[in-house]
A and B are shown apart, each in its own frame.
Chain A
Amino acid sequence: MTQTTEAPAARLTHQPEAVAAPPARATATFAKALNAALADTMAADPGVLMFGEDVGRLGGVFRITDGLTARFGEERCFDTPLAEAGIMGMAVGMAMNGMKPVVEMQFDAFAYPAFEQIVSHVAKMPNRTKGAVRLPIVIRIPYAGGIGGVEHHCDSSEAYYAHTPGLTVLAPATVRDAYFMLREAIAFPDPVVFLEPKKLYWSKEEVDLAELRRTFEDGQAPRRIGRAVVARPGTDATLISYGPSVPTALAAAAAAEEEGRSIEVIDLRSIVPFDDETVCASVRRTGRAVVVAEAPGFASVASEIVARVQERCFHSLAAPVLRVTGFDIPYPSPKLEHFYLPSVGRILDAVDNLQWED
């Protein structure tokens, strides 16, 4: 096994010292945070394996697995033949035999050949065996649109997975969550579908990845699976969102503030398990809600959220819960996708329609 020493601290000592200004805050992209989460987990747990298509020498088409083969060897991060059912089925067997496989489905729509394995075995094996076989598998899926991708590269496929009992479905929206949630997913005893919003891969935050690692490994990172978070507090209405739509919801909330409305934004982070408590607490406070999601709206995760909120918060609601989702059409080609995606304007229109009394 080849090991290259990774010593970012050592590299920093070679920086010229003539920096008079206070040291720049470290920044990292969403993609780099995922990469670091994989590397840190593989360093900490020899049972963790990473495999899929082009994840070896290339480092993945989005470079999420960059450097893992060089650092951990071909046994632990490797390319498979081009066959998603094969990747998924082999992961099931590896998990049955003591490993913690992390697999990459190269794009959302390319995961569909693996669907039978996911639905019939990954999701059901623990139940079938009354817990005798647990499957600690993470299925990483670069997902959703907004990147000008061609057909089959931009699907929002979360409803398929969320509809399948036995699966845990996560969709981070921030760099910090990307790191913590991927580590939490790999440590989780049950199979996780980990949806990585492609359009956020290049988003940046001021975070120090080494600090995130210490926080996680010291057990100081609060649990995120099953826990939504208030991404922006507000008092007049709640936007409920997850994954790629969170930044859009936040932008809409900022725009609404200029119009004098205080909008709260909930970032679900975890689609399954669903955090009814955080979502309903917010809606009961504000009395109004709009669900924002990129997937087609019919029979979607957004539909489920609306149903749950209305069942639980009916007497607190001043208006019907509305949705801003994709249209019920196949994901459009690049020149047309901006007509499809939930936009700030569409969210503000929905907020305007929440039966305000003023």
Chain B
Amino acid sequence: MSTAINGGRGSMMGGASGGTPPAGAGALLPSAEPVQLVGPDGQHVHDDRYPLPDGEQLLRAYGCLVAGRRINDQANALVRQGRMAVYPSSHGQEACQVAAALVLGDEDWLFPTYRDTVAVITKGVDPLQVLTLLRGDWHGGYDPHEHRVATQATPLATQLLHAVGVAHAAKLRGESTVVLAMCGDGATSEGDFHEALNFAAVFHVPVVFFIQNNEFAISVPLKNQTVAPSLAHKAIGYGMPGERVDGNDLAALLAVLGAAVNRARDGGGPSLIEAHTYRMQAHTNADDATRYRSADDVERWVPRDPILRMRTYLRALTLLGDVGERAFADEADAIATAIRKGLNTEVEVNPAELFEYVYTEKTTQLREQAQQLREELARDAAADAASVDSASDDVEHQGKGDQR
């Protein structure tokens, strides 16, 4: 039992320093090229290591992909209409979003970032609850325990350590939970990224670290973040395997992430997966991407679109036809309609809630401050009521017939 903490690789006190580098350390290195199972032309690419997921699984995932794109489009529209403060879109990255959620079981945890709204929804969280944060009602809108989805992290890489803690606790209790933790390429420069990978490896916990390398951290390109051969190459420094995958290839993502999840569940420890993808839109609606990249750069990624290639593949195999497409489109429309309706309904915010959750039991000071705000609002309401009264008096004086 004493070896449990250190994953059975040595005693607690011995660790890696006591031995020689393990034979086959090279096996921790990622493949030279990102794993690809379906190319941009929709053709299957054979790979000895990763069998192609079966058609049924791909078809279901494709439906999520279509819905994911629709959610991104709808959210962007709602920001333009002023119904949401901001939306960091994952347009172009939907295959990563969908695969990250679909490879997990109900008992598994997902740790998303602010750009991973589609992944959160795919894991089962109500879209309206997810968008609470961006609508500006509260800093989070769902109970993380309900679908085992952590709150969307805004500070970069901090959530990766929480993922390690959740996995560590699960392991201590002998549960088979796996945790998938997402981050972007920029976040790999943060100290918490390093500490999370190192802790996960040392404690040998079941975490899959999943980097969506979309080439930009707001405006800063990857070459300004690192000169490592790839982000997946960082894994060997922590003694865990790294793998690269085509981030616009849904089939490859399901295969590679699925293998990493299985490996973690079987006690194989953590791994690092880097998906090579592209952020097709600006960082958020408040960002102007033309200041740091050209339309041509973006255009080059259009033929590599994740939906396009999966559609071509599934149609060629006749797994997907016009009827199926229509059904997926209808499902996506239904989600979008629900989002639109929900966000067009004004939600009352309750200022009393400001004090409610800071501590389990309000401190004397917070009780006083809550009372102060209550009195302030009551005064304002009384003043408003008085001014409405006098205004309606004025209207009555002006003439009764005009109001109708």
B12 to A78, Cβ gap below 8 A?
Answer: yes
B1 to A116, Cβ gap below 8 A?
Answer: no
A93 to B360, Cβ gap below 8 A?
Answer: no
A28 at the A/B interface (Cβ < 8 Å)?
no
CB distance from A73 to the nearest CB of B (A): 7
Given known A1-B1, A97-B166, contact A133–B144 (CB-CB < 8 A): yes
A90 to B363, Cβ gap below 8 A?
Answer: no
Enumerate chain B residues within 8 angstroms of A78, measured Cβ to Cβ.
5, 12
Enumerate chain A residues within 8 angstroms of B198, measured Cβ to Cβ.
81, 83, 86
CB distance from A193 to the nearest CB of B (A): 13
Interface string of B146-185 (1 = CB under 8 A from A): 0000110001001011111111111011000000000000
Enumerate chain A residues within 8 angstroms of B353, measured Cβ to Cβ.
130
B5 to A85, Cβ gap below 8 A?
Answer: no
Partner of B168, one of A94, A128, A277: A94
Interface hits, B351-366 → A, CB 8 Å = 353, 356-360, 363-365
CB distance from B183 to the nearest CB of A (A): 13
Given known A56-B12, A83-B199, A120-B155, contact A129–B140 (CB-CB < 8 A): yes
A65–B3 CA distance with the chains assembled, in angstroms:
20
A14-22, A34-42, A268-276, A291-299: which one contacts chain B? Answer: A268-276
A170 at the A/B interface (Cβ < 8 Å)?
no
A74–B4 CA distance with the chains assembled, in angstroms:
8
Given known A74-B5, A90-B199, A121-B162, contact A85–B191 (CB-CB < 8 A): yes
Enumerate chain B residues within 8 angstroms of A126, measured Cβ to Cβ.
357-360
CB distance from B205 to the nearest CB of A (A): 9
A130 to B357, Cβ gap below 8 A?
Answer: yes
Given known A78-B12, A129-B143, contact A73–B2 (CB-CB < 8 A): yes
A96 to B196, Cβ gap below 8 A?
Answer: no
B145 at the A/B interface (Cβ < 8 Å)?
yes
A117 at the A/B interface (Cβ < 8 Å)?
yes
Closest B-chain residue to A274, C-beta based?
A: B365
A121 to B139, Cβ gap below 8 A?
Answer: no
Interface size of B by Cβ–Cβ distance < 8 Å? Answer: 45
B255 at the A/B interface (Cβ < 8 Å)?
no
B363 to A130, Cβ gap below 8 A?
Answer: no
A233 at the A/B interface (Cβ < 8 Å)?
no
Closest A-chain residue to B179, C-beta based?
A: A93
A130 to B140, Cβ gap below 8 A?
Answer: yes
A113 at the A/B interface (Cβ < 8 Å)?
yes
Enumerate chain B residues within 8 angstroms of A111, measured Cβ to Cβ.
none
Partner of A113, one of B2, B170, B172, B191: B191
Enumerate chain B residues within 8 angstroms of A121, measured Cβ to Cβ.
155, 158, 162
A124 at the A/B interface (Cβ < 8 Å)?
yes
Enumerate chain A residues within 8 angstroms of B191, measured Cβ to Cβ.
85, 113
B13 at the A/B interface (Cβ < 8 Å)?
yes
B364 to A273, Cβ gap below 8 A?
Answer: yes
Enumerate chain A residues within 8 angstroms of B4, measured Cβ to Cβ.
74-75
Listed residue (B138, B202, B358) with the most chain A CB atoms within 10 angstroms of its CB: B358
CB distance from A101 to the nearest CB of B (A): 8
Enumerate chain B residues within 8 angstroms of A86, measured Cβ to Cβ.
161, 164, 192, 195-196, 198-199
Listed residue (A116, A166, A226) with the most chain B CB atoms within 10 angstroms of its CB: A116
A288 at the A/B interface (Cβ < 8 Å)?
no
CB distance from A356 to the nearest CB of B (A): 32
A116 to B155, Cβ gap below 8 A?
Answer: yes
Closest B-chain residue to A166, C-beta based?
A: B358
Enumerate chain A residues within 8 angstroms of B138, measured Cβ to Cβ.
128, 130
CB distance from B264 to the nearest CB of A (A): 15
Enumerate chain B residues within 8 angstroms of A273, measured Cβ to Cβ.
359, 363-365
B143 to A93, Cβ gap below 8 A?
Answer: no
A148 at the A/B interface (Cβ < 8 Å)?
no
A92 at the A/B interface (Cβ < 8 Å)?
yes
B199 to A81, Cβ gap below 8 A?
Answer: yes
Interface string of A162-197 (1 = CB under 8 A from B): 000110100000000000000000000110000000
A272 to B363, Cβ gap below 8 A?
Answer: yes
CB distance from A89 to the nearest CB of B (A): 2
B161 to A90, Cβ gap below 8 A?
Answer: yes
Listed residue (A79, A86, A95, A130) with the most chain B CB atoms within 10 angstroms of its CB: A86
B2 to A74, Cβ gap below 8 A?
Answer: yes
Interface string of A1-34 (1 = CB under 8 A from B): 1100000000000000000000000000000000
A88–B159 CA distance with the chains assembled, in angstroms:
11
Enumerate chain A residues within 8 angstroms of B358, measured Cβ to Cβ.
126-127, 165-166
Closest B-chain residue to A127, C-beta based?
A: B357
Closest A-chain residue to B198, C-beta based?
A: A81
Listed residue (A57, A125, A189) with the most chain B CB atoms within 10 angstroms of its CB: A125
Interface string of B1-29 (1 = CB under 8 A from A): 11011000000110000000000000000
A89 to B140, Cβ gap below 8 A?
Answer: no
Partner of A75, one of B172, B202, B357: B172
CB distance from A311 to the nearest CB of B (A): 11
A98 to B169, Cβ gap below 8 A?
Answer: yes
B165 to A92, Cβ gap below 8 A?
Answer: yes
Give me the interface of A with B, judged by CB distance under 8 Å: 1-2, 49, 56-57, 73-75, 78-81, 83, 85-86, 88-99, 101, 113, 116-117, 120-121, 124-134, 165-166, 168, 189-190, 226, 272-277
Given A86-B199, A126-B360, A168-B359, output 15 extra A-B contacts at Cβ < 8 Å. A1-B1, A2-B2, A75-B5, A81-B199, A85-B191, A90-B162, A98-B173, A113-B191, A117-B158, A128-B139, A129-B143, A130-B357, A132-B144, A190-B359, A190-B360
Question: Can you give 10 A-B contacts (C-beta < 8 A)?
Answer: A75-B1, A81-B199, A89-B158, A89-B161, A98-B169, A99-B172, A120-B158, A121-B162, A129-B140, A273-B359
Ranked nearest first, the 3 interchain pairs of A and B with the lowest CB-CB distance are A93-B165, A89-B161, A86-B195
